[in-house]
Structure 1
Amino acid sequence: MTTTSSADSTRIAYTRTGSGPALVLVDGAMCYRGSSPNDALAKELATHFTVYTYDRRGRGASGDTGPYAVEREVEDLAAVVKEAGGEVFLFGISSGVALALEAARNLPVTKLALYEPPFIVDGTRSRVPPGYAARLDQALQEGKRGKAVKLFMTEGVGLSAAMVATMRIMPFWAKLKKVAHTLPYDTALVIEHQTGEPLPSAWPEVQVPALVIDGGRSPDWMRHGVASLAKVLPSAEYRTLPGQTHIVKAPALAPVLKEFFLA
């Protein structure tokens, strides 16, 4: 592990592995080094790239200087990009897609790959309920981390109450509660794209080649959001990984990323 400093002096922890062109992986909600699908992905990619994984602020070994703003997370990523040599390939997964898109507006990103942002763009899934963000904040202010995670899983992710009840007795629930205070960060990144309305052309500055990917077994609402994103990005291609879900397997994803980034 190595650390760098963001523009506001927040400590950002990262790991570098492999050799080749620099590739930075951006986590989704509640994930961090040691508890992330990007850990396995980094191992798969390290034979072709110098891979950087990092703890987003408030998670793992990184700091969490307040108040939060999306701009601070972009500055965190900028600090990692600088450590990587100042020009990188960038991959984002889930809500990390929204952060990667924000970063690609201004950072020296040469190619961009994105897996399943949780964008709700039509009626195939109910929109995130009004007041969700406020209820999430209130639960955290009251110290009810478990309640905050439950709200995220049911109202944010759209899982059934029965499924979440089962999750609450699993060992990993404690890990989720540990980083529950970062849920508003991901909410700030994605909530404007969870209204059930078509995506606007919100990223016209992102002109770099982009690959937008989903899993063939993921729910329709998520796949519709991915397809919509591919259409609004100026220079994007859309690809589906047969048999994959939102919990994508690294051996299925890594070859697609290698092909795209090295072409």
Structure 2
Amino acid sequence: MQTVTSADGTSIAYEHHGEGPPLILLHGGSAPQYWTPIVPRFVDDYTVVIPHRRGVGESGDSEEYSLDRGVEDIRAVIDAVDGTPVLFGHSFGGLLAIETARTAPVEALVAYEPAVLVGEYKQQADLASQMQARIDDGERRQAMKFYIREVMHGGDVDDLDGWLDEWPPWPDIVALTENIARINRAIEQYRLPESLDIDAPILLLTGTEGPPHLRDGIRAVDEALSDSQFVEFEGVGHGGPTEAPDRVTSEVRAFIDGKETPVPERSD
């Protein structure tokens, strides 16, 4: 484990695996271990770097948090690694990757269902406050269940408890309840610009079984970009990188390896 100091003095830890050009993996609401199935698929050709989000894992924390603070943390990691990195973010990590790439030099950008809220869903979004109300009532586990139902399943799942019994992060992820509530507050405050200026090849990924509000969000991101590739995985949900690691990794590697070639016909 290595550490770097962010702009406000907070220590940000990051894992370092393999050898080669840097590939930075940004986790969403889950822990850095989210990327465990992905790392072996890249370490032979890339230096895989996994930052621990502020307040998670081995990183330090601060009383206040914002998306800008998260971007500062990622920029500090970028400055610490050798070479210009590829950023690959999932969910909130996808939003962090997009916002970081607007101001930092990156070789390429990959985002799987970035946490961008748009339209009527954004106007009514109150996930952070509903989580916080449950936390204040001492119901941290219920707050996390509420988050998982909304974000992983779009609010619609027949047997959440049965699904959780088969979901590897459960129940350890309950330890991140307060941290996840605050990143949802940052997500709800984010306003997607009409245009996103990113000077790097961009790959946007989604699954047909992902929550509708995030599928709407990624299409809005696609529209805000002047040039991007868009790939949809049939039968895959919000947890695509871990649900279908071979399919996702294959697409990402093909994109990275061919990023200097003409953009192929869009798959959507």
TM-score interval (norm. to shorter):
0.7 to 0.9
TM-score (norm 2): 0.82
Structure 2 partner of 1:15: 15
| Partner Cα distance (2:98, 2:239) in 1 | 21
CA-CA distance at 1:24 after TM superposition? 0.4
Higher relative contact order (CA 8 A, sep 6+): 1
Q: 2:94 aligns with which of 86, 97, 105?
A: 97
TM-score (norm 1): 0.83
| Partner Cα distance (2:36, 2:116) in 1 | 24
| Partner Cα distance (1:236, 1:189) in 2 | 25
* 1:150 to 2:150 alignment: no
Aligned length: 253
Structure 2 partner of 1:261: 256
> Does the C-alpha gap of structure 1 residues 122 and 96 become closer, same or farther in structure 2, counting only changes over 3 Å?
same
| Partner Cα distance (1:190, 1:155) in 2 | 14
Query: Structure 1 vs Structure 2: percent identity of aligned residues?
Result: 28
| Partner Cα distance (1:219, 1:167) in 2 | 16
Structure 1 stretches lacking a partner, 5+ long: none
Cα shift readout 1:83-141 (whole Å, capped 9, x = no counterpart): 21252110111121111111112112121011112445467xx5574544333334334
Stretch deviating more after TM superposition (180-189 or 38-47): 180-189
SS in 1 for 2:239: coil
Cα shift readout 1:5-32 (whole Å, capped 9, x = no counterpart): 2122222221111222111011111x22
Q: How does 1:145-184 map to 2 (within 5 A)?
A: 145-157=140-152, 158-160=154-156, 163-166=159-162, 172-184=169-181
> Does the C-alpha gap of structure 1 residues 90 and 135 become closer, same or farther in structure 2, counting only changes over 3 Å?
same
| Partner Cα distance (1:243, 1:156) in 2 | 17
Aligned-residue Cα RMSD (Å) equals 2.7
> Does the C-alpha gap of structure 1 residues 64 and 143 become closer, same or farther in structure 2, counting only changes over 3 Å?
farther
**Which residue type is aligned with residue 240 of structure 1?**
E
* 1:82 to 2:79 alignment: yes
* 1:140 to 2:132 alignment: no
Q: How does 1:215-234 map to 2 (within 5 A)?
A: 215-234=207-226
> Does the C-alpha gap of structure 1 residues 245 and 239 become closer, same or farther in structure 2, counting only changes over 3 Å?
same
* 1:33 to 2:32 alignment: yes
| Partner Cα distance (2:205, 2:222) in 1 | 9
Structure 2 partner of 1:212: 204
Structure 2 stretches lacking a partner, 5+ long: 259-268
CA-CA distance at 1:230 after TM superposition? 1.5
Cα shift readout 1:131-169 (whole Å, capped 9, x = no counterpart): 443333343345432232133234555334753344566
Structure 1 partner of 2:261: none
